[in-house]
Structure 1
Amino acid sequence: MKNQQDELVPMRIQNSWRVCIDYRRLNQATRKDHFPLPFIDQMLEKIVGKSHYYFLDGFSRYMQIHIAPEDQHKTTFTCPFGIFAYTCMPFGLCNAPSMFQRCMMSIFSDLLQDCMEVFMDDFTVYAESFDACLNNLSKVLKRCIDTNLVLNFEKCHFMVTEGIVLGHLVSNRGIEVDKAKIDVITSLPNPTSVREVRSFLGHAASQPSRPQPEWSRPSRIMEPKLERNS
């Protein structure tokens, strides 16, 4: 779809409602947690080249993290149905991503870089053989049971030889760009104005999550021309 500036905005189809609360004032008063997310390049290099994979997805992401009772009132919001406060961590809180990643790293600490990788609620289990991958899955699922971590069965893929990880196709062949992302770019109409060129550059640059050195050359050629015409 397009926004008010007539720029293309990627959409993700949802078949359920999500409540979004404006926590900007709460976030301003919150001491920031700077726990880092994994480096995508390093994560992909550890995953690639294996014979079998399991791709698991955490159910409702942040909502699996309970909020301490003495802090629940800070999430209070009003709506036409009354006044409510969350007992579990909602999205919109500035420290939610860092807190969730820290929890996942703690839960799977002894399995990371050995048989699995974790990026937020995306868990990739891998091995060099069918039996080894099955054994690794058993370890991960047992850990989920022990910690009451719930998975979304509809988004899980079991015992496959390739799959999409953070926008890239990984397999024993190597790392490839997701064909769906290529199709998005090739389906864009040819830009006919400065605004449309800027929109195209922004949209194309946002697709790959790994560095693309060859992308800098065409964008470097066009940027001075865009500045002169702005």
Structure 2
Amino acid sequence: MKDQFLSPIFLRPKKNGEYRMILNLKKLNEYIEYHHFKMDTFESAIKLVTSKSFMASIDLRHAYYSVPIAEEHQKFLRFYWNGKLFQYTCLPNGISSAPRIFTKLLKPVYSSLRVLGHVNVGYIDDSLLLGETIEECNKNVNDTIELMSKLGFVIHEDKSVFQPSKQIIFLGNIIDSENMIITLTADKKTKPSKRM
């Protein structure tokens, strides 16, 4: 078929035993213009944590897949699987512009939650929610879930932490607001603890 782009596809195992389908878009990415953008980082998250902080987290299930691709651009996201031609109709993992697109998409969501007085940080599909009291953190969690659900995002309940806590795992790090320290999770541990 003319005027299309075919990419190889492969499966990558996930921690839970399932597989993530990855479209190898290395060749297509060579044609995608890079645009600088600012995204929250782990460092920006820990700057918001105080010794009073209660924390929760929300993970979005298949976050990129909730972003539709314009029909005229889907032809660039084609692949063969078991002898049949398929194409992505949503944002695939592996496209170089995905982090920028998703960050820009969620920026107004987090801004509207901040207008309500909530303290939060979003990194792609992971959100750290804070409050100075359990009640404040609970309100942040409830408002975030409600807004994300209204916008069509699906909350990954198994990977989210809804119950406010003084210790939480965020982006592979354990944040402890009680003692104001950060440690790596056991599977990422290579360095000693760091004081905030």
Q: TM-score range by the shorter chain?
A: 0.7 to 0.9
> Within 5 Å, which residues of 2 pair with 1:88-167?
88-112=90-114, 114-159=118-163, 160-167=165-172
CA apart distance, 1:142: 1.8
From 177, 185, 189, give the equivalent of 2:183: 177
Larger radius of gyration: 1
> What's the TM-score once normalised by structure 1's chain length?
0.69
Q: Which residue of 2 aligns with 1:85?
A: 87
Q: Which runs of 5+ in 1 are unaligned?
A: 1-10, 186-203, 211-230
Structure 1 window deviating more from structure 2 (107-116 vs 25-34): it is 107-116
For residue 84 of structure 1, what is the amino acid of its counterpart? F
CA apart distance, 1:37: 2.1
Q: Which residue of 2 aligns with 1:18?
A: 20
8 Å Cα contact 1:56-1:155 kept in structure 2:
yes
1:168 paired with 2:170, answer: no
Q: What is the percentage of aligned positions where both structures have the same residue?
A: 22
8 Å Cα contact 1:35-1:99 kept in structure 2:
no
SS of equivalent residue, structure 1 residue 49: coil
For residue 140 of structure 1, what is the amino acid of its counterpart? T
**Inter-partner Cα distance in structure 1 for 2:136 and 2:50:** 16
> What's the TM-score once normalised by structure 2's chain length?
0.80
8 Å Cα contact 1:168-1:175 kept in structure 2:
no
Q: Which runs of 5+ in 2 are unaligned?
A: 1-12
Q: Which residue of 2 aligns with 1:54?
A: 56
**Superposition RMSD in Å:** 2.5
Q: Which 4+ residue blocks in structure 1 deviate beyond 3 angstroms?
A: none
**Inter-partner Cα distance in structure 2 for 1:48 and 1:64:** 33
**Inter-partner Cα distance in structure 1 for 2:110 and 2:151:** 10
**Inter-partner Cα distance in structure 2 for 1:57 and 1:77:** 28
Q: Which has the higher strand share?
A: 2
SS of equivalent residue, structure 2 residue 22: coil
Q: Which has the higher helix share?
A: 1
CA apart distance, 1:56: 0.9
**Inter-partner Cα distance in structure 1 for 2:145 and 2:125:** 14
Q: Which residue of 2 aligns with 1:217?
A: none
